[in-house]
Amino acid sequence: ATNRTFTMIKPDGVENGHIGAILEKISASGFRIVALKMTQMTTADAEAFYAVHNERPFFGELVEFMTRGPIVAAILEKDNAVEDFRTLIGATNPADAAEGTIRKLYATSMGENAVHGSDSDENAAIESAFHFSGREQF
Ligand code: CMP
């Protein structure tokens, strides 16, 4: 799955009405959407998904935020997907994100930063399997 990555439009992106614009930007940037759903993470889901961050001071805030409303989860296919998608979304903190990136355009803060992008091929596969069964991936 080296040509695939996993993304979520986070609750702030959904609340602020940016689902369409973000999916359009993803498609226009050469990513093929091979799985897509709107869903809401439970507290247990978010704690498991972000387990790597469970010692961080912002962990509670992160779980609270990620469960407060629906998200849009997707799997994206493109050559060099993980790296190219992280370039497209921009820095974690929108104040540091490059012009034209999804976070520069749509994120509001370091915590509420509109989108997720997997940070490695290994995590892309783990995160994709967390949200999608085999039958939901095309
Ligand atoms: P992301 O990199 O997608 O996954 C981890 C998330 O934790 C990150 O996006 C932010 O939403 C959140 N995060 C990272 N650093 C902080 C911070 N200092 N304060 C609040 N949230 C943070």
Tokens 């993803």 -> residue: 26
* φ, ψ of residue 7 in degrees (nearest 5): -135, 155
Residues 104 and 49: their CA atoms lie apart, in Å, by 24
* 86 assigned binding-site residue: yes
* Percent of the chain topping pLDDT 90: 99
Count Cβ neighbours within 10 Å for each residue of 16-39 and write b for 16 or more, e otherwise.
eebeeebbebbeeeebeeebeeee
Work out the pLDDT band at 19, boundaries 50, 70, 90: very high
Task: List pLDDT tens digits, range 77-112.
Answer: 999 999 999 999 999 999 999 999 999 999 999 999
- The preferred substitution site among 113, 126, 127, 130 for testing ligand 1, maximizing ligand atoms within 8 Å of CB, is 113
pLDDT(12) > 60: yes
**Any ligand 1 atom below 6 A from CB of 91:** no
Evaluate whether 4 touches 128 at the Cβ level (below 8 Å): yes
Give the three-class secondary structure for 32: strand
Q: How many CB atoms lie within 10 A of CB 2?
A: 12
**Any ligand 1 atom below 6 A from CB of 116:** yes
Ligand 1 midpoint to CA 109 (Å): 9
pLDDT value at position 2? Answer: 65
**Any ligand 1 atom below 6 A from CB of 128:** no
DSSP track, 47-71 = HHHTGGGTTSTTHHHHHHHHTSS-E
* 92 assigned binding-site residue: yes
pTM reported for the whole predicted model: 0.96
Ligand 1 midpoint to CA 63 (Å): 10
Distances (CA, A) of 54 to 6, 71, 73: 21, 21, 22
Q: Considering 18, 53, 116, 131, which one is annotated as catalytic?
A: 116
